[in-house]
Copies of this chain bind each other. A is one copy, B any other.
Amino acid sequence: MLSKKTQYAFHALVHLAENMDKGPILISEIAQEKNISIKFLENILLELKNAGILGSKKGKGGGYYLLRPPKEIALAKIIRLLDGPIALLPCVSLNYYERCENCRDEAVCGLNEVMSKVRDSALKILENKTLKDILTRNS
């Protein structure tokens, strides 16, 4: 399951996308709108900023905003950033690969094969669906 962190990130990004025309949006506004602890959300938005997904402005009139159009922000990117691997096993992760301990030979490991397929089928969706696809109203 996705962590709260990732779920909150999606909600926040949706709010930012739906209010792109209004300039920088306050953390506090998003927190209130989406029922998220403001301090927790602060950390999440910072991470998104440091990853180059959001921009920010300090001081009065400041806040957060999307750096790219929603249709260019793939869901997979957000999940990987905040939750880590999408794959079900470390040995089939593309971005967070780790060797299996209890596995003699990955090339012949049946689990490895099946889980690679699961990963691919998930990525096919998550790499192609974007923020735009999860908005309620169109923008």
Pick from A42-50, A61-69, A131-139 the stretch touching chain B: A131-139
Chain B residues contacting A114 (CB-CB under 8 Å) are: 75, 125-126, 129, 133-134
Is A28 part of the contact surface with B, judged by Cβ < 8 Å?
Answer: no
Cross-chain pairs A/B with CB under 8 angstroms, 5 sampled: A1-B90, A10-B111, A111-B134, A118-B125, A121-B122
Contact, CB under 8 Å: A1 / B35:
no
Q: Please, how many angstroms separate the alpha-carbon atoms of A90 and B7 in the complex?
A: 11
Q: Which of B35, B109, B117 contacts A101 (CB 8 A)?
A: B35
Within 8 A of B (CB), among A85-126: 85, 87-90, 101-102, 104, 108-111, 113-114, 117-118, 121-122, 124-126
Interface size on A, residues (CB 8 A): 38
Chain B residues contacting A122 (CB-CB under 8 Å) are: 118, 121-122
Is A11 part of the contact surface with B, judged by Cβ < 8 Å?
Answer: yes
Minimal beta-carbon separation of A35 from chain B (angstroms): 5
Q: Please, how many angstroms separate the alpha-carbon atoms of A124 and B7 in the complex?
A: 24
Which of A84, A89, A111 has the most CB atoms of chain B within a 10 A radius of its CB? A111
